[in-house]
């Protein structure tokens, strides 16, 4: 009989059930889809084979930029899959093998918003959609911000990024917008609420920017 966990046992743990068959159903430039046949524990002590589709994703990073006035940097981007322009925080794919996550986050912050940060901390690590994808994302907290002149940024915004306005929103207002259902992007929601908890003293010390992903 499995022991009932207590509050102190609440911690995600790695586990992998046996895969008897795996078929690649789709492969694209950003993600692939595989279909696994998985042997999972079943009631009564037996086993049961089930099918699971998995979206294999490169992974991503995101940046919750917080200025000295406790304002959050948000940018608006069109997202075709949901048919909406969403307010988000700077983010990007882990598409350069071996690139440190903090360096990737700094690059995305600069390219998407035109800012550099002097202080970096790890805010939260998340699986954005673990029911279907292996994507993992780290959300950084970036502070001590400085705007960079446009002629010093070697990046051309194209497609959806060509029309991406940036605004500064007081953190408390951003939290209210999340709870009012006015901000939907998952990484933005997670970053805003985590930053609010940290600034309110509920989160304790943050991990360093180069903390390992567990």
pLDDT at 214: 79
The residues carrying an active-site annotation are 161
Task: Pick the closest to residue 134 from 52, 195, 196 (CA basis).
Answer: 52
For residue 159, is pLDDT > 50?
Answer: no
More confident call, 12 vs 89: 89
pLDDT at 53: 93
pLDDT at 46: 60
Looking at the chain, the whole-number percentage of residues with pLDDT higher than 90 is 69
Looking at the chain, the whole-number percentage of residues with pLDDT higher than 70 is 91
Which whole number is the average pLDDT over 44-51?
A: 72
CB neighbour class for 83 (10 Å; exposed up to 12, middle 13-18, buried from 19): exposed
pLDDT at 161: 54
Task: Pick the closest to residue 191 from 169, 210, 212, 160 (CA basis).
Answer: 169
Are the C-beta atoms of residues 108 and 126 closer than 8 Å to each other?
A: no
CA distance 74 to 87: 6
Tens-digit pLDDT profile for residues 184-204? 999 999 999 999 999 988 767
pLDDT at 48: 74
Question: Could you tell me the residue ranges of all domains in the chain?
Answer: 17-57, 60-204
Q: Which fold has domain 60-204?
A: Nucleoside Triphosphate Pyrophosphohydrolase (3.90.79)
């Amino acid at each position: 009989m499995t022991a009932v966990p207590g509050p102190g046992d609440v911690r995600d743990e790695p586990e992998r059930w046996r895969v008897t068959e795996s078929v690649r159903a789709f492969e694209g430039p950003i993600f692939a889809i595989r279909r696994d046949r998985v042997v999972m524990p079943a009631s009564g002590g037996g086993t049961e084979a089930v099918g699971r589709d998995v979206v294999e994703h490169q992974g991503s990073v995101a940046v919750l930029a917080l200025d000295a006035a406790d304002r959050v940097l948000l940018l608006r981007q069109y997202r075709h899959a949901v048919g909406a322009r969403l307010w988000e925080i700077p983010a990007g794919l882990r598409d350069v093998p071996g690139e440190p996550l903090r360096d990737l986050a700094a690059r995305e912050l600069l390219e998407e918003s035109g800012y550099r940060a002097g202080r970096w901390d790890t805010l939260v690590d998340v699986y954005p959609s673990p029911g279907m994808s292996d994507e993992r994302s780290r959300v950084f907290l970036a502070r001590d911000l400085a705007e960079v002149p446009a002629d010093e940024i070697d990046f051309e915004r194209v497609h959806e990024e060509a029309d991406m306005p940036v605004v500064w929103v007081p953190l408390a207002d951003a939290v209210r917008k999340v709870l009012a259902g006015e901000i939907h992007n998952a990484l933005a929601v997670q970053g805003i609420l985590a930053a609010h908890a940290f600034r309110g003293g509920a989160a304790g010390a943050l991990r360093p920017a180069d903390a390992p992903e567990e």
